[in-house]
Amino acid sequence: MDIGVSLKKIRIYKNYSQQYVANYLNVSRSTYINWEKNKTSLTLQRCDKLCELYDIQITGLIEFHLKLLNNAKNIN
């Protein structure tokens, strides 16, 4: 599981649309969608900006992602 899944889950939890997040990051919606689908890599600078929007620290994003990975392993 790549980070895009975590980005999508947090975005949905925050009740933000893909367009809203893309606008905040000053990128196209298709660029943002590609990050959620892990088709393109997210830069650290963009990741920092996302964390700012979501009001979390980068370490919080990483911890959330690791929990999702652990849950996925336990299901299988």
59 occurs within a structural domain: yes
The model's pTM is 0.81
Domain span at 40? 3-69
53 occurs within a structural domain: yes
Which pLDDT does position 15 carry in this prediction? 97
Per the listing, tokens 């992602």 go with 65
Which pLDDT does position 35 carry in this prediction? 95
CATH number of domain containing 54? 1.10.260.40
CB 5 within 8 A of CB 68: yes
Contacts of 27 (CB under 8 A, 6+ apart): 46
pLDDT, tens digit only, all 76 positions of the chain? 588 888 999 999 999 999 999 999 999 999 999 999 999 988 889 999 999 999 999 888 888 888 887 877 776 5
76 occurs within a structural domain: no
Q: What is the DSSP letter of 26?
A: T
